A and B are shown apart, each in its own frame.
Chain A
Amino acid sequence: DIQMTQSPSTLSASVGDRVTITCRASQSISSWLAWYQQKPGKAPKLLIYKASSLESGVPSRFSGSGSGTEFTLTISSLQPDDFATYYCQQYNSYSLTFGGGTKVEIK
């Protein structure tokens, strides 16, 4: 099974900060990685697919990069609406795996 490790698990930041979240795969997954945003009591929302493709309707301050085993999600200028938990998810194999999540908190 492919394991996904996210870091940090919690991140404290201020509005306007540049934020970077890292996701590492236990083996190469090419670019088959997605990022999600989840707010309390809500279903996750797809932000990025295929490592760097922005889902329709998602603000351009969100960007993804990486390939192989190391990936990043960057929020260029953190907005009040962005305080949430973020998950990466691989779909390289026939199985899907989520990372453990990164909670972005207000500093």
Chain B
Amino acid sequence: QVQLQESGPGLVKPSETLSLTCTVSGGSISSYYWSWIRQPPGKGLEWIGYIYYSGSTNYNPSLKSRVTISVDTSKNQFSLKLSSVTAADTAVYYCASLLLPRGGLGYWGQGTLVTVSS
């Protein structure tokens, strides 16, 4: 059973860069596409982007200028960097596996709350 675990700071200052890592266990990171999704408190889900183990990426156009997703196959990890954060980036951030070509986000981490505040 594939398991995902997000890690990173829970508090980030405005204008700084949010950095999170997702560690994959119980399976190879070469098996799926890997995605980041976020959910502001009390609101809906927003897709941030995904990466394949080869390093190819695709990002939400609304966040593309600020997002970088990378993968470290040796550690079975992938990471998210979101630059120039504001209070609007406060959210629970989830990592998940995108089960292409079949479709759907099948495995999810538990989520981590990141608050942007000075």
Task: Point out residues on A near B: beta carbons under 8 Å.
Answer: 1, 32-34, 36, 38, 42-46, 48-50, 53, 55, 87, 89, 91, 94-101
Task: Point out residues on B near A: beta carbons under 8 Å.
Answer: 35, 44-47, 50, 58, 60-61, 94, 96, 98-100, 102-106, 108-111
Q: B103 and A43: CB pair below 8 A?
A: no
Q: How far is the CB of A32 from chain B (nearest CB, A)?
A: 6
Q: How far is the CA of A87 from the CA of B103 in the complex (A)?
A: 15
A-B contact count (CB 8 A): 64
Q: How far is the CB of B14 from chain A (nearest CB, A)?
A: 26
Given A43-B96, A44-B45, A87-B45, output 14 extra A-B contacts at Cβ < 8 Å.
Answer: A32-B103, A33-B103, A36-B45, A42-B110, A43-B94, A44-B108, A46-B104, A50-B104, A87-B44, A96-B35, A96-B50, A96-B60, A98-B46, A101-B44
Q: B102 and A50: CB pair below 8 A?
A: yes
Pick the residue among B44, B96, B104 that contacts A55 (CB under 8 A): B104
